């Protein structure tokens, strides 16, 4: 108990210190010396557990930064695209307290009276966390100072040094991850990263960096891209060949995918490499139903809906008149993952007895997310869904994408990766020759940077990534590494309505809502029309964003898609792939120069 108290005191001090501006400048000053604490393997375990960082339920909100979502929130990237960003109004992200906590552990852990294997295991976990920290910094700033040691006040040269190159920082990350992959144990407590989780993240970083270098010529690092893509391929293949993981499937394509996101216990799931456990009874609630379902801040985009294939593997965007299909028509004969990700016509929300009628609202798309939503009235169940932080599906798509980028992807590679996902979902297989012979013109327009003999299949792998990981927080990073930031200039659109009138929203052929003119009045309940079931229609006044109405349509009474916003967006390339160092930090250390035109 005494040692646990010492651990709490140390970590508590570190957390408090991390709020200070000069946190990186000082060696830990505490009444508890490292010699008193870092003595046993249990000490190492307690400290490293305090560094635990897992993706969790709020990853479902991260797609607000991408083209998968419309949002009414003050999201950083949206503010950048519509405003005048600079280093004085973009000030988040430059926080080094966590790195100092990690380096503090790495400096003191070798002194513990524990086996070399145990020390290396916990050192590997700490270095995994350091790589995770720097991965987030590189994604945001590219070049940042690299620190793999603690600093003290006499280290002025280090304290006031400038940015290290991206190559230097990424090399340090790769060294950390290689050590972690070689030494972190396989057998670890549930809900904490083990060897396979480390290797999955290692592959993720390698794929990100390889594709980033390939598609971002402003870095001048294209020559080293294949080195990282090869590493991503090999790591993914190692996980695949281990036989430790397989896609979760019971033979029910209408439910198997959704089961990954509405389970109260993922500990035995064959697909889950690492999960974040939630339990309301233990004061760790996963309940974010107000976010993933409802009219709060975010709503899925029509562009995402149109990305899903038909069940037979054909492209939805090849369907005649796909641009003007209704909500009900959009969900017919589609990839079953669409109806397990978004609310579909005919869905019933507990405890209501009738089919849910989508709620239309100004600045929202009309689509609702159900992925991660627990359709129950049981409060304990609402707050106790586990989150699949790392899953085997990512390994399969990492392998396929790396092979395609390297130009060596074969049909057998597709069959052991992408097609396993499609088969679980109940969608026809991807054929390499057909994809490359007839690339999707919509995706070609979306990703003009892709070229070469693997163009068609690369585009389909990108589609598969977007669909498989929809609303899990992957999309923004994918757009950044593919140099596809210009897609964020497109304002998200919502459902299509051809004009004023009555519409079926549940798929039973009976009208549920009515759009009336902007100048008309919504009648009181006794005067409202009823449908064939004797239920009152739901009324909306439709107009443009300049009208006093309840829903915005692209062309007002003449119809169009639901409008979410109208402010023009501008993505400055390459500047907006990066963030400025906050002005205050550059003032304190002039050696921290801004890059890519930031001021």
Q: Say if residues 43 and 3 touch (Cβ distance below 8 Å).
A: yes
Query: Each residue of 518-565: pLDDT tens digit?
Result: 999 999 999 999 999 999 999 999 999 999 999 999 999 999 999 999
pLDDT for position 32:
54
Q: Say if residues 202 and 398 touch (Cβ distance below 8 Å).
A: no
pLDDT for position 154:
84
> 569: which strand partners?
none
Q: How many CA atoms lie less than 13 Å away from 243 in the CB half-sphere?
A: 0
The DSSP string of 479-547 is HHHTT-GGGGGSPPEEEEE-SSEEE-SSSSSS--EEEEETTS-PPPGGGS-B-TTSPBPEEEEEE-TTS
Q: How far is CA 523 from CA 520, 529, 534, in A?
A: 9, 9, 17
What's the DSSP call for residue 323?
A: G
* CA–CA gap between residue 193 and residue 480 (Å, rounded): 26
The DSSP string of 142-164 is SSB----S---TT-HHHHT--PB
Q: Which of 146, 99, 105, 141 is nearest to 122 (CA)?
A: 105
Q: How far is CA 135 from CA 139, 172, 404, 475, in A?
A: 6, 11, 24, 16
What's the DSSP call for residue 282?
A: G
Q: Which of 131, 117, 299, 275 is nearest to 192 (CA)?
A: 275
* CA–CA gap between residue 113 and residue 103 (Å, rounded): 19
Q: Which two tokens stand for residue 70?
A: 């419309």
The DSSP string of 90-116 is ---S---HHHHHHHHHHHHGGGSSS-H
* CA–CA gap between residue 140 and residue 154 (Å, rounded): 29
Q: Say if residues 478 and 466 touch (Cβ distance below 8 Å).
A: yes
> 530: which strand partners?
536
Q: Say if residues 477 and 548 touch (Cβ distance below 8 Å).
A: no
What's the DSSP call for residue 45?
A: H
pLDDT for position 292:
80
Q: Which two tokens stand for residue 437?
A: 């012979």
List of residues 6+ apart from 161 with CB closer than 8 A:
145, 591
* CA–CA gap between residue 407 and residue 445 (Å, rounded): 21
pTM of the model: 0.94
Q: Which two tokens stand for residue 531?
A: 């449908």
* CA–CA gap between residue 509 and residue 315 (Å, rounded): 26
Walk along the chain (599 residues) in steps of 10 and give the mean pLDDT of each run. 42 38 38 77 96 93 96 96 97 95 96 97 98 98 97 88 98 98 97 98 99 98 98 98 98 97 96 96 84 87 98 98 98 98 97 96 96 91 94 99 98 98 98 98 98 98 98 98 98 98 98 98 97 98 97 98 97 98 96 97
- Sheet strands (E) in 357-406: 387-391
**To which H or E segment does residue 188 belong?**
none
* CA–CA gap between residue 314 and residue 495 (Å, rounded): 22
Query: Each residue of 159-214: pLDDT tens digit?
Result: 999 999 999 999 999 999 999 999 999 999 999 999 999 999 999 999 999 999 99
């Amino acid at each position: 108990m005494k040692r646990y108290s010492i651990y709490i005191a140390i970590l508590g001090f570190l957390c408090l210190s991390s709020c200070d501006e000069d946190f990186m400048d000082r060696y830990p000053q505490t009444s508890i010396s490292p010699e008193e604490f870092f003595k046993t393997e249990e000490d190492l375990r307690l400290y490293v557990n305090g560094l635990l960082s897992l993706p969790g339920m709020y990853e479902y909100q991260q797609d607000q930064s991408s083209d998968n979502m419309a949002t009414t929130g003050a999201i950083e990237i949206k503010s950048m695209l519509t405003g005048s960003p600079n280093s004085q109004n973009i000030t988040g992200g430059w926080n080094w307290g966590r790195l100092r906590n990690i380096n503090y552990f790495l400096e003191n852990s070798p002194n513990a009276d524990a086996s070399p294997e145990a020390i290396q295991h916990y050192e590997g976990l700490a270095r995994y966390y350091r790589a995770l920290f720097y991965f987030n910094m590189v994604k945001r700033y590219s070049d940042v100072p690299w620190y793999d040691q603690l600093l003290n006040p006499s280290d002025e040269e280090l304290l006031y040094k400038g940015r290290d190159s991206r190559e230097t920082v990424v090399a340090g990350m790769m060294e950390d991850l290689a050590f972690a992959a070689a030494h972190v144990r396989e057998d670890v407590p549930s809900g904490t990263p083990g060897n396979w989780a480390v290797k999955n993240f290692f592959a993720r970083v390698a794929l990100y960096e390889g594709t980033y270098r390939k598609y971002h010529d402003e870095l001048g690092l294209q020559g080293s891209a294949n080195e990282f893509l090869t590493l991503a391929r090999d790591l993914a293949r190692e996980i695949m060949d281990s036989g430790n993981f397989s896609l979760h499937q019971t033979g029910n394509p209408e439910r198997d995918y959704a089961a990954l996101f509405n389970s109260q216990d993922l500990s035995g799931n064959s697909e889950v490499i690492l999960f974040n456990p939630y339990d309301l009874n233990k004061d760790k609630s996963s309940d974010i139903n107000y976010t993933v379902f409802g009219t709060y801040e975010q709503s899925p985009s029509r562009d995402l809906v149109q990305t899903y294939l038909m069940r037979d593997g054909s492209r939805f965007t090849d369907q005649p008149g796909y641009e003007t299909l209704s909500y009900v028509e959009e969900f017919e004969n589609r990839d079953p993952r669409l109806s397990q990700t978004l609310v579909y016509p005919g869905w019933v929300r507990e405890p209501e007895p009738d089919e849910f009628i989508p709620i239309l609202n100004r600045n929202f798309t009309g689509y609702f997310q159900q992925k991660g939503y627990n359709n129950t009235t049981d409060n304990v169940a609402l707050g106790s869904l586990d989150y699949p932080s790392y899953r085997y599906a990512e390994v399969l798509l990492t392998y396929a994408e790396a092979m395609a980028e390297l130009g060596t992807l074969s049909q057998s590679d597709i069959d052991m990766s992408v097609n396993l996902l499609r088969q679980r979902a109940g969608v026809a297989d991807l054929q390499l020759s057909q994809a490359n012979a007839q690339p999707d013109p919509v995706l070609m327009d979306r990703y003009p940077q892709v070229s070469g003999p693997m163009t068609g299949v690369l585009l389909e792998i990108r589609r598969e990534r977007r669909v498989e990981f929809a609303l899990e927080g992957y999309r923004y990073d994918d757009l950044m590494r593919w140099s596809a930031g210009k897609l964020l200039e497109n304002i998200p659109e919502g459902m299509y309505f051809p004009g004023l009138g009555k519409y079926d929203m549940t798929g039973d052929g009976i009208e549920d809502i009515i759009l009336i003119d902007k100048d008309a009045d919504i009648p009181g309940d006794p005067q409202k029309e009823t449908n064939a079931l004797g239920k009152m229609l739901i009324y909306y006044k439709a107009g443009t964003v300049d009208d006093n109405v309840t829903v915005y349509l692209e062309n007002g009474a003449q119809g169009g898609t639901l409008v979410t916003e109208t402010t023009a967006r501008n993505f400055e390339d390459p500047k907006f792939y990066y963030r400025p160092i906050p002005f205050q930090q550059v003032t304190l250390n002039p050696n921290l120069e801004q890059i890519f035109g930031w001021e």
